[in-house]
A and B are shown apart, each in its own frame.
Chain A
Amino acid sequence: DAKTTQPPSMDCAEGRAANLPCNHSTISGNEYVYWYRQIHSQGPQYIIHGLKNNETNEMASLIITEDRKSSTLILPHATLRDTAVYYCIVRVPSMEYGNKLVFGAGTILRVKS
């Protein structure tokens, strides 16, 4: 699985967009980019994933560069409840072996009022 690099921490003002970068320069053509987050004292929560096209759901948007070597998770209007550790993971999903996720250190996002 490709290795990812994320900044250790970021701050964001409440109500502003939070843009969380992830570098995955060794990603292969069939690897997906997944984002999970972990709010304090809770289990990780799935946010979004994508292969090459930009994706959007009710929680966030995922922007993947054309060369797929990096991506950005965007929380359009961050709230205090978005304060969490955000994990960027790249993975080839396998019908046979399942989706084994390897979590790195992630980015601690602090949303401030």
Chain B
Amino acid sequence: DAGVIQSPRHEVTEMGQEVTLRCKPISGHNSLFWYRQTMMRGLELLIYFNNNVPIDDSGMPEDRFSAKMPNASFSTLKIQPSEPRDSAVYFCASSLLGVQETQYFGPGTRLLVL
């Protein structure tokens, strides 16, 4: 089992550029979560999907952020345009819906917006 796969692992971009983060969940999992982690705010849930459908996007900071899950094996988190305050580590996690589900996290994407 390859675990949750995220790409790229590191991204450096300039303010105003579009950034796309990618996630491949564990095969068979039907819930997918996007988190953001900063020193100031800790680990925050941005959005999550069940069976490819967005359930709760209340954590998405603003309209510059968007997330999609076109199929069960792929999701993207897009920032357009990016700003320096978006610099953070972005984690994707997946789980299998159920009463005693656990979340499995990817290695994260470290984003630096200059």
Cβ contact within 8 Å between A93 and B100: yes
Known A-B contacts A43-B106, A43-B108; the reply to A98 vs B101 at CB < 8 A is yes
Q: Does B111 contact A (CB under 8 A)?
A: no
How long is the Cα–Cα vector from A101 to B103 in the complex, in angstroms?
Answer: 9
Write out the residue numbers on chain A whose beta carbons fall within 8 Å of the beta carbon of B55: 97-98
Known A-B contacts A43-B91, A44-B105; the reply to A98 vs B50 at CB < 8 A is yes
Cβ contact within 8 Å between B43 and A44: yes
Interface size (A, Cβ < 8 Å)? 22
Known A-B contacts A95-B97, A98-B101; the reply to A42 vs B45 at CB < 8 A is no
Q: Is the interface of A mostly helix, strand, loop or mixed?
A: loop
Q: Does A13 contact B (CB under 8 A)?
A: no
Of chain A, the residue at the smallest CB distance from B43 is A103
- For the complex formed, measure the closest distance between the CB of B35 and the CB atoms of chain A, giving whole angstroms: 8
Known A-B contacts A95-B99, A97-B50, A98-B55; the reply to A43 vs B45 at CB < 8 A is no
Write out the residue numbers on chain B whose beta carbons fall within 8 Å of the beta carbon of A87: 43
Interface residues on B, range: 20 to 34
Known A-B contacts A98-B31, A100-B56; the reply to A45 vs B105 at CB < 8 A is yes
Write out the residue numbers on chain A whose beta carbons fall within 8 Å of the beta carbon of B50: 97-98
Q: Does B80 contact A (CB under 8 A)?
A: no
How long is the Cα–Cα vector from A43 to B90 in the complex, in angstroms?
Answer: 9
Binding site for A on B (CB under 8 A): 4, 31, 33, 42-45, 48, 50, 55-56, 91, 93, 95, 97-108
Binding site for B on A (CB under 8 A): 32, 34, 36, 38, 42-46, 49, 87, 93, 95, 97-105
What are 23 A-B contacts defined by CB distance under 8 Å? A42-B105, A42-B107, A43-B4, A43-B93, A44-B93, A44-B103, A44-B105, A45-B105, A95-B98, A97-B55, A97-B56, A98-B50, A98-B101, A99-B31, A99-B95, A99-B101, A99-B102, A100-B33, A100-B45, A101-B33, A103-B44, A104-B42, A105-B42
9 A-B pairs with the lowest CB-CB distances in the bound complex, closest first: A43-B105, A103-B43, A46-B102, A98-B31, A99-B101, A43-B91, A44-B105, A93-B99, A98-B50
